[in-house]
Chains A and B, each alone.
Chain A
Amino acid sequence: MRSRITRRGFVAGALAVPFAQPISISLAQNYTPGAELPPLLMESFSDQMTVEVTRLYIRELEKLGIRVTHKPLVFSQILGKVYGSKDVTTAMMGLGFPEERFDPDFFIRSIYASNGSFNIPHYSNPEYDVHANMQLAASTKEERRKAIFEAQRIYARDLPSWPVCTRDQINPVNVSLFRNVKPSKGFGLECYHVAPFLEIEPVTSVRELNTATTFRMSSAHPFTERSSNGRGYVRFIFDTFLRYDQDLNLIPWAAEKVDQVDTTTYDILLRPNMKWHDGRSVTIEDVQFTFDYLLKWKPPLWQPFMEVIAGSERLGDRSVRVKLKSPAATFMTISMAQITLLPKHIWERVPEQVGVSSPLEWDPTRNDGMIGSGPFKFSRFEKDVDCHVTAFREHWTGGPKLDGIHYIQAASIEQMVGGMEAGQIHMIGDGITIIEGKRLAAQPGIELLTTETGTFVLFWVDVTKPPFNNRAFRHALYHALPKKAAVEIVLGGASVPARRSPLPPLMREWIPDDLGADEYNLEVAQKYLQEAGFKRQGRRLIAPS
């Protein structure tokens, strides 16, 4: 093809050159065997904390002779790139821990199995897959544990990617106004988890709790809300079949019992005498309707816990039989704890009789559609201003001891801290660091509660791109990771170093004891580099040929 470069084209090209660099974020690695190792690309979130952890890591890698190009990206951009298109070389990012991930299946299978939906490292090991899939279909807990242990042993050998440390939930609470405030294990005091809010008791005449966070909720729509806060807020109003209590035990909730009949069949026994917020009774028809409706409309954000369900049928006037497409240990731990009971008399009109084409477009907060059977009633949802729920005393638990909760989305940490000092905000749910928390707790009447969670700072590696396809090289990188320094310096101690496992340390019953956390050792890293074939020439590192 003959191309004529016109003067305009030349000028356009020349102008594009300074722009081309920032746009093409995925630099060609230019890895050539036998030549000097080029700088590795490491992308990260741009918040100060993640950048600082990345920086600490890069300093250690430079001691080994490994040069790194650090490229922080805007949040939405890196999310789309790494979690969306799975286009990564290496990346230091955060991984949230909402209730839907409180099961080893997410970490073991979704991330590291070759067909896992979250397989960012592009890791593919058939031996690993066997155990990863077996644990999901396992019929006893012991069998499952064995499979998960085996999978982790293979992981520990391969190290396709690794977490750095966790992030504690930091909750300052005004204890002069409220007592009996006990954070949930693994989640702390935040909207993700309803359990603690049923126990909180007012001490004075202030009977409604004002909790603030800087993290944004989008909407209160049960189907479309994607933030963890928002989904937690929805669970205040709607009941689920099972629920996690404060010690993370799975307890019966709207379902009195969930029995496993065989590997793909479960029977749900509905609790009697439950009422909807508008006074009507909860019947088995609502349960049947919920399953049918969800299977019909398939809200995309519910797919992870709905797609394993094939159908349901009514058994009596209090039970429903659910059939799965294939055995899934996550049915009990995730699906039953996430699927909320929908009132038939409200949602059967949607969407045909309310003038929209799909239930996802209907706004229940403005159409009296937020009728649930949960311990709190919907009062108001004004994003950025106030999201308010009030106590539902007719709840089968007797209702909460609070009269209501104002869930305030603050614009800045300043607002939250100032609000707590002034006594207008009674609790900070999320968004504050340990250092500010400690300063706040120095005030009389304010106590600081910290909870270990499963939220990770995680280091992702694409194991198909050289030199990361070299296992010994990955081990070298792993041993250069200063987990303790990250915990001390950057997170101020409000963190736990990750173990040599994909699972967060709080899931300790699922992690073999011999997989430890304290593995930072530059000498060991050097040895692995040599084993990988890299030779040190002065200040340069030569790749193996």
Chain B
Amino acid sequence: MGWSRYIARRIVENLLLVLFLVVAMFVLFRLAPGDPVATIVSPELSPQARQQIMDEWGLSGSLFTQFVRYLQGVLTLDFGQSFAYRRSVWDILSEKFANTIVLVIPSVTIGAACGLWLGLRAGMSPHGWSDRVSLWLPPILRGVPPFWLGILLLMLFSYGLGWFPIGGMRTLGAPDRTFADRFLTLDFLRHLALPVLCLAITSLPEPILLMRQSVRGVLRDDYISYLGLRGLPASNFRRHVFWNSSLPVVTWFFHMFGYTLSTSVVIEIVFAWPGLGREMANAVLSYDYPLAQGCFFLIATIVIMLNFILDLIYPLIDPRIARPAEVTA
């Protein structure tokens, strides 16, 4: 099986996956207990008025016709109108998604960078301070609930010391029409600092452990010993070790990105950050089907895409790994 055939097969598989998710979403929302129109209509309305509202929202007709309408919409990326916002779901999604991305990327990157550095040191200098730290710090950090960490940071740095604002993406009333207004101001950076710190700390444990383990393994390899025997200066040596051991962290990075994206909801709640996760939680809690479906779809699709990209570039990073044509998937 050639490389291009493999890619084609993976694309088809991923698309099928997305399709399954789309159908599962519909089933879950429609068959769940609870009256979908409860929050839209009030009981004082006449039956005709109720029917009118249900027609307006596309909630009338048999389940099958609703399903067909839903599928048609999804194929054109039209998730309909949000019940709560009365705006196109896609508009809302794109806006909130940007807010979440700007939170997730810096956090995971910073966490990864610090973790890589600490892991490298721990791996290369056993029994040093970094090694001892890397033994007990990661399990504790993994055990700290991210939302609690966020609350602690708020208590310490916002309420206590007053260095950072207590939440939101910018000061209330600040201009936000243009991209620059929204993302390129000092005000925004001050608001970004604490949530990013929180997420970076929770992204720390895995890279430390992975890197340390990987470095230890690499150091035992013959070609590295050879480099050492050759009398390579320390910094060059470190560089070789680094590049050879960072592969597991690359894999982790993609997974962590997807993971942080799907768990961003709690951080967004703690810091009142208007992002995708929080939007989804609100939509689910208020039975805003279209918006909840749209959010779930977006998050799931991105996670699938990340896995797919990882599958693609993995052999490129490490030529030692056999091309997928040569192993069973």
Contacts and interface: CB of A to CB of B under 8 A. Distances in A.
Q: Do A and B bind each other?
A: yes
B318 interface: no
A338 B85 CA distance: 23
A386 B177 CA distance: 12
A425 interface: yes
Nearest to B274: A384
A307 B287 contact: no
Interface stretch (A28-36, A319-327, A407-415, A451-459): A407-415
A363 B85 CA distance: 11
A521 interface: no
A74 B285 contact: yes
B34 A76 contact: yes
Interface stretch (A81-89, A126-134, A177-185): A81-89
A298 B172 contact: no
Interface string A393-420: 0000000000000101011101100110
Interface in B17-76: 33-46, 49-50, 52-53, 56
A536 interface: no
Nearest to A77: B34
Interface residues of A, number: 50
A424 B167 CA distance: 14
A203 interface: no
Interface stretch (A213-221, A234-242, A343-351, A432-440): A213-221
Contacts of B274: 384, 411
- Main secondary structure on chain B at its contact with chain A? loop
Contact of A418 (B46, B83, B85, B166): B166
A261 interface: no
A523 interface: no
Given A77-B34, A84-B35, A384-B274, A303 B49 contact: yes
B44 A304 contact: yes
Interface in A34-93: 74-77, 79-81, 83-86
B86 interface: yes
Contacts of A221: 86
Interface string B100-142: 0000000000000000000000000000000000000000000
Interface of A: 23, 25, 74-77, 79-81, 83-86, 110, 117-118, 120, 210, 212, 216, 218-219, 221, 224, 226, 298, 300-301, 303-304, 307, 358, 360-361, 363, 383-386, 406, 408, 410-412, 414-415, 418-419, 424-425
Interface residues of B, number: 38
Given A79-B39, A226-B41, 5 more contacts: A76-B286, A77-B38, A81-B34, A110-B44, A418-B167
Contact of A383 (B42, B85, B287): B85
Contact of A307 (B41, B46, B86): B46
A424 B171 contact: yes
Interface of B: 33-46, 49-50, 52-53, 56, 83-86, 165-168, 171-173, 176, 269, 272, 274, 278, 285-287
Nearest to B49: A300
Residue among B33, B46, B167 having the largest count of chain A Cβ atoms under 10 Å: B33
B272 A83 contact: no
Nearest to A106: B44
10 contacts: A23-B33, A210-B172, A210-B173, A226-B42, A300-B50, A384-B274, A412-B167, A412-B272, A415-B272, A418-B166
Contacts of A210: 172-173
Given A76-B286, A424-B171, A301 B176 contact: no
B173 A406 contact: yes
A380 to B, nearest CB: 10
A218 B85 contact: yes
Given A84-B35, A224-B86, A424 B44 contact: no
B167 A76 contact: no
